[in-house]
């Protein structure tokens, strides 16, 4: 599957956006205020946004929840329905653009769109490409019992199980190793 630079950026953005959501009622929100939202957009080089407000924060959090549903979709049909609703609500307007040192690429959001619509359109289309390619199962959640972070499995054989093999994967492998040693010791 060919993943263009702008699609990869949108995938990274949507994964990081979904992962800002608190995992439960005790966890902190990764987007607690407008300043954090501004930092998020700056860190992901989100272009064509104006001054952010509380309404932008609220709308982005709502879109974030809808994206989380796509990562939890049981099959391609359910994911496609959620993506279609998200992208349609954003009022997509595909257009070619070259900016900030990047060659020609497609933006799916309308000029002057809100940040939430911008994210819904561009990130929604990036996820749509995976459904179209029959690769919806690559949109995953970490299999570590104490982690449910989203990620996109870009491994060749679709075998990635953890959001980060150095943290979640390694921690589980070490725990399994210690359990085997303990059982062998008697």
Mind listing the pLDDT tens digit for each residue in 102-120?
788 888 888 889 999 999 9
Write down the pLDDT at residue 6: 84
Exposed, middle or buried: residue 71 (CB in 10 Å: 0-12, 13-18, 19+)? buried
Q: How far apart are CA 18 and CA 150, in angstroms?
A: 7
CA dihedral sign of residues 65, 146, 75, 19: positive
Write down the pLDDT at residue 78: 96
pLDDT tens for each residue of 118-127? 999 999 999 9
Write down the pLDDT at residue 177: 67
User: Under the phi-then-psi rule, with left for phi > 0, alpha for psi from -120 to 50, and beta for the rest, what region is 2?
Assistant: beta
3-state helix, strand, coil in the chain (%, to 5): 55, 5, 40
pLDDT tens for each residue of 126-178? 999 999 999 999 999 998 888 889 999 998 888 888 888 677 876 666 666 67
Per the listing, tokens 């075998």 go with 159
Q: How far apart are CA 180 and CA 175, in angstroms?
A: 9
Over pLDDT 90: what percentage of the chain? 58
């Amino acid at each position: 599957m060919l993943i263009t630079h702008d699609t990869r950026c949108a995938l990274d953005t949507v994964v990081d956006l979904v992962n800002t959501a608190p995992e439960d009622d005790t966890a902190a929100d990764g987007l607690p205020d407008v300043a954090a939202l501004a930092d998020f957009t700056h860190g992901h080089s989100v272009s064509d946004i104006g001054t952010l407000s509380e309404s932008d924060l609220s709308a982005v959090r709502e879109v974030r929840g809808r994206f989380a549903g796509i990562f939890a979709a049981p099959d391609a049909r359910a994911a496609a329905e959620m993506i279609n609703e998200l992208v349609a609500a954003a009022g997509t307007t595909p257009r070619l653009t070259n900016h900030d040192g990047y060659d020609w690429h497609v933006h799916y959001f309308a000029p002057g769109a809100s940040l939430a619509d911008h994210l819904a359109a561009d990130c929604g289309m990036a996820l749509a490409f995976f459904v179209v390619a029959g690769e919806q199962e690559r949109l995953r959640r970490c299999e570590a019992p104490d982690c449910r972070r989203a990620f996109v499995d870009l491994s060749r054989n679709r075998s990635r199980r953890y959001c980060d093999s150095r943290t979640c994967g390694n921690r589980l492998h070490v725990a399994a190793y210690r359990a085997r040693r303990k059982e062998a010791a008697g």
